[in-house]
Structure 1
Amino acid sequence: MQNAILKFEELLNENVNYIPTINNEILEVKNPGKWSKKEILGHLVDSAIHNLVRFTEINYAEKPYRHRPYNQMDLVNLNQYQKIDIQELTQLWFTINKQMVRLMKSVDEKALDYKIILADGSEIDLRFLMTDYVEHLEHHINQIRA
């Protein structure tokens, strides 16, 4: 878990000041059926919001915890990330994720083994969900930086 937290902090610290320096025309380029780089960052905001709730709820909710999916496409469109100032969007992304880092650092070792049931009925644990979140974040940051 420690490696995931270190990677998480590294991704945040390397990109909070870098992303707003990307030319706005590059950030807003849209290809058919694809998100712009700005919308990808917005998707990361939505992902952070939902996962912060999951990472928190699992500590007090009935076990096993039931993972609730969300409609990623609708959220990106409804939140109109394409129109938000990149400084504001980056700060929103950074602030929510800093809270997630604090939570991950403080999570009880025992809680990392809490079972989570996915929508398809398969099972994972909190450790996997947290680690997977960091990998998901890294994947999309790489898309933004490309």
Structure 2
Amino acid sequence: MKTAILKFEKLLSENVDLFSKINSDVFTAKVSDKWSKKEILGHLTDSAIHNLVRFTEINYVEKPYHHRPYNQIDLVNLNQYQEMDIGELIQLWFVINKQIVRVMKSVDEKALDYKIILSDQSEIDLRFLMTDYVEHLEHHINQIKS
């Protein structure tokens, strides 16, 4: 878990300032019907919100924990990230993720083994979910930077 946390912290520290230096036209440009870089950052914000809830809830709700999916496209549209001030969006994304880092650093070693039931009834554990979150974050950050 320490490796994932270090990677996570590095992704945040290296990119929070970089994002604010991306030209506004580049950030908001849509490639065909795909998300803009700004909307990708909005998606990462939605992901952070949902995963912060998951990472904390699993500690006090009935086990096994049942993972609740969300509609990524609808959330990006409903939250109107394309129209949002980019500075506010970057700040929102960053602050929520800093809280996730705090939660990940404080999670009990035993809690990392808590079982999570996905919507297809397959099972993962909290360790996998947290590590996968960092990989997901890195994937989309690379899309924003490209």
Runs of 4+ that moved beyond 3 A: none
Q: Which residue of 1 aligns with 2:108?
A: 108
Q: Which residue of 2 aligns with 1:30?
A: 30
User: CA–CA distance in 1 between the matches of 2:66 and 2:16?
Assistant: 32
Unaligned runs of 5+ in 1: none
Aligned residue pairs, count: 146
Identical aligned residues as a percent = 77
- CA offsets 1:10-56 (integer angstroms, 9 cap, x no match): 00000111101100100011123310000000000000000000000
Unaligned runs of 5+ in 2: none
User: CA–CA distance in 1 between the matches of 2:20 and 2:48?
Assistant: 19
**2:123 maps to 1:123:** yes
Q: Within 5 A, what are the aligned runs for 1:2-13?
A: 2-13=2-13
- CA offsets 1:112-133 (integer angstroms, 9 cap, x no match): 0000000000000000000000
Q: Which TM-score applies when normalising by structure 2?
A: 0.99
DSSP-derived class of the 1:62 partner: coil
Q: Which residue of 2 aligns with 1:85?
A: 85
- CA offsets 1:35-79 (integer angstroms, 9 cap, x no match): 000000000000000000000000001000000000000000000
Shift of 1:82: 0.5
User: CA–CA distance in 1 between the matches of 2:3 and 2:29?
Assistant: 34
Q: Which residue of 2 aligns with 1:48?
A: 48
> What amino acid is the match of 1:2?
K
RMSD, matched Cα:
0.5
Shift of 1:88: 0.8
Q: Which residue of 1 aligns with 2:134?
A: 134
Q: Which TM-score applies when normalising by structure 1?
A: 0.99
User: CA–CA distance in 1 between the matches of 2:15 and 2:83?
Assistant: 20
